[in-house]
Amino acid sequence: MKSIIPYGRQNITEDDIQAVVNTLKSDFLTQGPKIAEFEQVFANYIGSKYALAVANGTAALHLSAMSLNVEPGQKVITTPITFVATTNCVRYCGGEVVFADIDPNTFLLAINKVRNLLEASPKGTYQGIIPVDFSGRPVNLEAFRKLADEYDLWIIEDACHAPGGFFIDSNGQQQKCGNGNYADLAIFSFHPVKHITCGEGGMITTNSKKLYDRLCNLRTHGIQQNPDFKLYNHGGWYYEMQELGYNYRLTDIQAALGISQLTRAEEGIITRRRIAKRYNDEFAGKSFIKRQSGLVNGHAYHLYIIEVEDRIGLYKKLREKNIFAQIHYIPCHLMPYYRQFGWQERDMPNAEKYYQHCISLPMYPTLSQEEQQYVINTINAFYKS
């Protein structure tokens, strides 16, 4: 293959381009009607009551942590196998990140490790949990909610990898990622490698009116958006800043792209699942490859990850052949920034072992069958030689 095959990439159509152009020609480039429209169609898609569009996934995490009152001295539990933005939102608010190890079979935050932490300390030690639907594999939030309720904790679901994914609850019902039935807040990103893109963009979903109202204010400088809750009124020009917020707004240009992209979200997931099935069929029974076990129907397949021996060798071979596979992720607790808080090697044995062997193969809706076969052939040839 002459051209580079990345691990993930956006899919922009003529319709997407036209939607952006139309907004550029309209009266509002930001704070116009496209934002509310995007929020509405996104909430419908995810099945949540409210959705709040923000500048990016990191801003969504930051505002979520703020709205749940993370402060210095508060401890929040999360997984080391995620993008650093997940953990950083706790630090933005001065809170303390406490890592719990992953389940080596699913690569997700292990609920029994979280339980061990909670049981080892007096109640009130921890404030919240941030599970991640890592790779697009949905966390069983029903189980996490039960545990969180026992200890009076909130949950932020980092669903950046899983819009359109779902798990099956104990009543046999599909529970879509981010639908707000179990987590207090869920967050999404619209970076180009994610399922749908706005260039940059993010969303917070929730079923809580109270949190939604607070988030609306925090997104725009902490200026009270609801006229009923203003403390004073000086006249028609009057606005009132009640707490310290940010400008974390999305533009209408980005929202127009998001709305157009969302119309193909379901189609994109179906293609991702078909690509995953092909990899699964090809790799089944190959002893040199370990896959995420107990595959679930609701997997959104943001990433297709395998664990292999000689991962560095395979990574280099793939690069040589223009296949830009990636490693997701370097464990967060081993980042120099987090080491200053005392985290070190051997703290998270499952995550560290996973990191030695994992590699994310190309996975995106426009990956052609021919390209996928080329990836598979290259891997098979590497382990035969």
Ligand X SMILES: *Cc1c(COP(=O)(O)O)cnc(C)c1O
Q: Reduced to 3 states, what is the DSSP secondary structure of residue 66? A: helix
Burial of 212 (C-beta count, 10 Å sphere; 0-12/13-18/19+): buried
Beta strand segments in 281-378, E: 289-291, 304-308, 323-324, 358-361
Question: Phi/psi zone of residue 294: left (φ > 0), alpha (ψ -120 to 50 degrees), beta?
Answer: left
Scanning 50-58, 221-229, 243-251, 372-380 for contacts with ligand X by CB under 6 A, the matching segment is: 50-58
**Considering the rule CB under 6 A, would residue 161 count as an interface residue with ligand X?**
yes
User: Do residues 362 and 306 make contact, with C-beta atoms less than 8 angstroms apart?
Assistant: no
**Considering the rule CB under 6 A, would residue 80 count as an interface residue with ligand X?**
no
Number of residues that bind ligand X (CB under 6 A): 14
Phi, psi of 59 (to 5 degrees): -65, -40
Scanning 65-73, 82-90, 240-248, 358-366 for contacts with ligand X by CB under 6 A, the matching segment is: 82-90
User: Do residues 82 and 158 make contact, with C-beta atoms less than 8 angstroms apart?
Assistant: yes
Nearer to ligand X (CB atom), residue 81 or residue 276: 81
| Per-residue 3-state assignment (H helix, E strand, C coil) for 185-200 | EEEEECCCCCCCCCCC
**Considering the rule CB under 6 A, would residue 86 count as an interface residue with ligand X?**
yes
* Closest CB to ligand X: residue number: 57
Q: How far is the CB of 137 from ligand X (least distance, A)?
A: 12
Q: How far is the CB of 204 from ligand X (least distance, A)?
A: 12
Identity at 49, one-letter amino acid code: K
DSSP annotation of 99: E
Q: How far apart, in whole angstroms, are the C-alpha atoms of residue 212 and residue 52?
A: 8
Q: How far is the CB of 284 from ligand X (least distance, A)?
A: 28
Per CB under 6 A, the list member of 80, 128, 180, 202 interacting with ligand X is 202
**Considering the rule CB under 6 A, would residue 54 count as an interface residue with ligand X?**
no
- Give CA 137 to chain center in angstroms: 10
Let me know how long the chain is. 385
Q: How far is the CB of 191 from ligand X (least distance, A)?
A: 4
264, 275, 324, 365 from 11: Cα distances, Å: 10, 16, 18, 8
Burial of 238 (C-beta count, 10 Å sphere; 0-12/13-18/19+): exposed
Q: How far is the CB of 190 from ligand X (least distance, A)?
A: 7
Q: How far is the CB of 146 from ligand X (least distance, A)?
A: 23
- Of residues 166-195, those binding ligand X (CB under 6 A): 189, 191
Nearer to ligand X (CB atom), residue 335 or residue 376: 335
User: Do residues 312 and 341 make contact, with C-beta atoms less than 8 angstroms apart?
Assistant: no
User: Do residues 180 and 205 make contact, with C-beta atoms less than 8 angstroms apart?
Assistant: yes
Q: How far is the CB of 100 from ligand X (least distance, A)?
A: 16
Nearer to ligand X (CB atom), residue 108 or residue 289: 108
**Considering the rule CB under 6 A, would residue 158 count as an interface residue with ligand X?**
yes
Q: How far is the CB of 7 from ligand X (least distance, A)?
A: 12
**Considering the rule CB under 6 A, would residue 78 count as an interface residue with ligand X?**
no
**Considering the rule CB under 6 A, would residue 165 count as an interface residue with ligand X?**
no
Nearer to ligand X (CB atom), residue 59 or residue 289: 59
Chain residues binding ligand X by CB under 6 A are 56-58, 82-83, 85-86, 132, 158, 160-161, 189, 191, 202
